[in-house]
Amino acid sequence: MKNYAVSEDNSLGREFFESKSPLRNDFQRDRDRIIHSSAFRRLMYKTQVFVNHEGDMFRTRLTHSLEVSQISRGIARSLQLNEDLAETIALAHDLGHTPFGHAGQDALNKCMKNFGGFEHNFQSLRVVDHLEKRYLGFDGLNLTFESREGILKHCSQKNAKLLGNVGSRFIKKTHPSLEAQVVDIADSIAYNIHDIEDGYRSGILTLDKLKDMSFFREIFDELKLSDCRKNEKICIHETLRRMMFILIEDVTQNSIKLINLSSIKSIHDVRGYKEELIKFTKSIQIKLDKCRQFLKTNLYKHPRVEKMSNNAQEIITNLFDYYCKNIHELPDDFQNYDDQYRAVADFLSGMTDRFAKSTHNSLII
């Protein structure tokens, strides 16, 4: 590993003292704690774009997290960073997501507007710091500072002030480790590519429509026309595979160049450097921005997806209202809160799509 990678030697450690494991390094241990957590298992039944019951072949938050982890490890390895840390952050990065994807998060944020709001990155950190209860000595998973720093990808100033050390970079405008930056970019590579694939599988994005996106069209047009006529589906997969390869290759080569130019020599230098160092080249960033815009217009705002989103918002809003009025019906873990609204938000955000739906059906309809 390079001297600017995170290592056990330069780690800021855990909040509660624990003796070292003889078998695993600190970051492998963090990863194992995440994989064994109940929040991680629940990702299996949480929406990425398509709600879980739409079909078994679509991405869920769990498969998305595994894809992000695979991409992150690959980039981290090429850059000689800490692969274990990158894997850990990737597996945990969506733990705080509500049921029903962004629609669920927007609805819960609206419900919590007068009670401190709801941010999914902040919630992911809450899950690993407080909500998982598996240890006698402490609440949460007692992860290393570097894993927690990476999980907290974004944070409002208001919440950052409550978090001490791990929130201070949002106030001081410094940067997280390169491993955290890698996961952030791997997340965008994964969801842009897999949302195109899921959109195609759903029938919402047709080949004709996909060709409106120049990044896709340029690569698809390199394929042999006769092959594409014979098997459209395989040619679309081939195009997406090549797009992903281009993105990973670009960010890896460009970041090596930026790191070499920066002359950083330590994790301290990384945090204090004037900008982030894991970046696409400008031309690829423009292509990816256009891809995101294409997905927004043609997939996320498609009437079929919007209908799912509206249903989701209704379910979350009704459940929120119900539990605020019937606080005694929350499970035991959520009974001893000073702030009952936060208790309801923590309970609802931990629900899977189908649990939220069945609870809603049994209580409200």
Residues that bind Mg ion (CB under 5 A): 94, 187
**Residue 97 CB, nearest approach to Mg ion (Å):** 8
Which of residues 33 and 153 has its CB atom nearest to Mg ion in the complex?
153
Q: What share of the chain is helix, strand, coil (3-state, %, to 5)?
A: 65, 0, 35
**Residue 92 CB, nearest approach to Mg ion (Å):** 11
Which of residues 120 and 175 has its CB atom nearest to Mg ion in the complex?
120
Sign of CA dihedral 225, 216, 281, 192: negative
**Residue 191 CB, nearest approach to Mg ion (Å):** 6
Enclosing H/E stretch for 71? helix 61-78
**Residue 183 CB, nearest approach to Mg ion (Å):** 9
**Residue 150 CB, nearest approach to Mg ion (Å):** 13
**Residue 203 CB, nearest approach to Mg ion (Å):** 24
The token pair that represents 165 in the structure block? 């050390």
User: What letters, b where the CB count within 10 A reaches 16 and e where it falls short, cover 317-341?
Assistant: ebbbeebeeeeeebeeebeebeeeb
Which of residues 132 and 187 has its CB atom nearest to Mg ion in the complex?
187
| Burial class of residue 222 (count of CB atoms within 10 Å of its CB; 0-12, 13-18, 19+) | exposed
**Residue 176 CB, nearest approach to Mg ion (Å):** 16
Amino acid residing at 263: S
Which of residues 194 and 360 has its CB atom nearest to Mg ion in the complex?
194
Which of residues 14 and 61 has its CB atom nearest to Mg ion in the complex?
61
Question: Which one, of 102, 174, 159, 100, lies nearest residue 125 by Cα?
Answer: 159
Sign of CA dihedral 166, 171, 175, 181: positive
Alpha carbon distance 107, 327 (integer Å): 19
Whether the CB-CB separation of 68 and 93 falls below 8 Å is answered with yes
Q: What is the DSSP string of 161-216?
A: TTSGGGGHHHHHT----HHHHHHHHHHHHHHHHHHHHHHHHHTSS-HHHHTTSHHH
Which of residues 109 and 318 has its CB atom nearest to Mg ion in the complex?
109
The torsion region of residue 77 among left (phi > 0), alpha (psi -120 to 50) and beta comes to: alpha
Which of residues 187 and 198 has its CB atom nearest to Mg ion in the complex?
187
Which of residues 187 and 195 has its CB atom nearest to Mg ion in the complex?
187
Chain position whose Cβ is nearest to Mg ion: 187
**Residue 62 CB, nearest approach to Mg ion (Å):** 11
